Amino acid sequence: VVYDLLILNGFVVTDKETGGFDIAVKDGKVAEVVARGSLESNETGKIVDAKGGMVMPGGVDAHVHLDEPALFGKGSSADNYETGTRSAICGGTTTLITFAPQRKTEPSLLATLEATHVRARGNCYSDYSFHLICSNAGPQAISEFPALRSAGISSLKIYMTYEALQLGDMEILDVLFEARKNKIVTMIHAENGAIIDWTIKKLEEKKLFDPKYHVTSHPPVAEIEATYRAIALSQYIDVPVLIVHVSSPAAAAHISTAQKKGLPIYAETCPQYLFLTRKDLDKPGFEGAKCLCSPPPREGSQDHEAIWAGLEDGTFTVLSSDHCPFLFEDTETGKKSVISPEFPNGHFKYIPNGLPGVETRLPLTLSANRLPLQKFVEVTSTNAAKLYGLYPRKGALIPGESDADITIWYPEGGLDEFALKNEMLHHNVDHTPYEGRTVKQWPRYTILRGEVVWDRDGDGLLGKKGYGKFLERDVSTLKGSLKEEWNVEDF
Ligand code: URP
Ligand code: ZN
Ligand code: ZN
Ligand code: ZN
């Protein structure tokens, strides 16, 4: 056989095994994974020498916001499909699942899906799919679930907070019930909107507006209560859900308890809950806005330790970026729209929530050297592929099955640690919350369907806009996520 590409001399790490293997690629797929040295002669084109570097399935980032309209005051996403997917591949992530956000005034999820396709089509450097955000769970949206499945969508996100998105418990039950019939995984943003709004009102009465009060206004109890309620609603309907961006150890404990009972409850956390604290929002002037997201970073190292532990013990199924970037400087007006004479340091409630992180997710997490390598692959790639119906095409290196999506890291001693700077990144954002952090790992190469799209020591970005493909997804194959029988007749 004549292969298109050989990846030689690497140390291969998947969720299942590690070892010295060479990989042969044919027609964009993994063709062979064999003992190191067996593929040395190649009659054909390309060879990538992975010389002792770790070779992993490309990252799958299943929580990314691109080209979304403004939800809070001003501020729509800083990244569109071009710049966001470009940033992803430069950080070792080859597949994104982004959001197709339904507006409350739009009754149709299918129309939302089509509008999102138009924004993405022809613009992507990475492969991609969409989760539908359901913010109007009326009869039309609910009736479209089977059509969504036919269109290759097997997951939804719903919100328990944010006026523009929030569903009440009746609507959540409607969504979960229909999701169950259609074998759709529902992602839930679990924060109690009333606790947040009430606390904001109290802070405003005291004229406390600085960015750091965002943390006060999103207390752990808002997350804990909503997480517990989401679990209860899921248990009642008997349907898998994933609690997104968990920051609170006590919320994680509720999730772990539910999992131990055998309930199909999955959870996600993000680098911001491993690396940032509330102190990052408590900086002079408006600087803290660069670390403002929901849920917010928590107190400190004890919280971080608990989140790392949850990744290790399987409480967290996936580690996603929740890349949701906004510009710090407003390029249109040259002024920050949330700053006024009344609010000289801005008013926290008008600051768009979210951080950039699609490019830094893998390097920061691997640099921390906290997770066993196979666990790292599992939570940053394989589990997302399984949960969202992309496995084994994505998230694996299985001959004949998997796309040749591969991230190759530097060999030990091959990369000097350096201080991260925003100017090194490939997003369209004027800051990173991780400015100045020491990074010890960065992808040496990223390969997407057999094409080298990132070569850090060569020309850098080699991928082309438009090479990224839309991925039709099937049902979840994560163990336990779908019961054999869903007793729909009981209702
Ligand atoms: O602050 C955040 N997480 N912004 C993104 C929107 C969301 O809720 O995921
Ligand atoms: Zn959310
Ligand atoms: Zn820490
Ligand atoms: Zn998000």
- pLDDT digits over 145-183, tens only? 999 999 999 999 999 999 989 999 999 999 999 999 999
* Residue in 61, 63, 64, 65 to alter for ligand 1 test, most ligand atoms within 8 A of Cβ: 65
* Sequence-ordered list of residues with C-beta below 8 angstroms from that of 370, at least 6 positions apart, any chain: 308
Residue 452: its H or E element: strand 451-455
- What is the spatial distance between Cα 373 and Cα 376, in angstroms, rounded to a whole number? 5
In 390-437, at which residue ranges do the beta strands (DSSP E only) sit? Answer: 406-409, 418-419
Task: State the pLDDT at residue 412.
Answer: 87
The count of C-alpha atoms lying within 13 angstroms of the C-alpha of 381, restricted to the half-sphere facing its C-beta, is 31
Task: State the pLDDT at residue 100.
Answer: 97
Task: State the pLDDT at residue 42.
Answer: 61
DSSP 3-state of 175: helix
The predicted-structure confidence for 215-253, as pLDDT tens digits, reads as follows 999 999 999 999 999 999 999 999 999 999 999 999 999
Model ipTM value: 0.91
Instruction: Show the low-confidence residues of the chain (pLDDT under 70).
Output: 40-44, 71-75, 331-335, 480-491
* Sequence-ordered list of residues with C-beta below 8 angstroms from that of 373, at least 6 positions apart, any chain: 13, 18, 54
Could you tell me the distance, in angstroms and rounded to a whole number, from the CA of residue 191 to the centre of ligand 3? 23
Task: State the pLDDT at residue 385.
Answer: 98
* Residue in 131, 245, 276 to alter for ligand 1 test, most ligand atoms within 8 A of Cβ: 245
CB-based pocket (< 6 A), ligand 1 = 65, 189, 245, 293-294, 322, 324, 353-354
Task: State the pLDDT at residue 40.
Answer: 66
362, 443 contact by CB (below 8 A): yes
Task: State the pLDDT at residue 329.
Answer: 87
